[in-house]
Amino acid sequence: MPGEVERVLIGIGNTVLWTFVSIALVVIVTELLNWRYHLLDEIFQENSTAAAILAGSFIVGIFYTVVQIVIH
């Protein structure tokens, strides 16, 4: 039983670690896009659907890439 508990705790730790890594990458990419292209201004002030779709694509892509790295 202690081996199973250890495995579960390691799994939870890995999940928390990779969650923070993914969120940090999303924040960095969003800030870079906002700094270079004023992406958030386009989304919220200009109501640009295309800019919102672009930002969402980046976020989903980053999360998908991190998940693939963790799985394999």
Range of the structural domain that residue 58 is part of = 2-71
Q: SS3 string of 55-71?
A: HHHHHHHHHHHHHHHHH
What pLDDT does residue 14 have?
93
pLDDT at 1 > cutoff 80 = no
pLDDT of residue 72: 82
Contact (Cβ atoms closer than 8 angstroms) between residue 24 and residue 59? no
The residue-averaged pLDDT of 48-61 equals 94
Considering the chain, what is the average pLDDT of its residues?
93
Instruction: Indicate the number of domains in the chain.
Output: 1
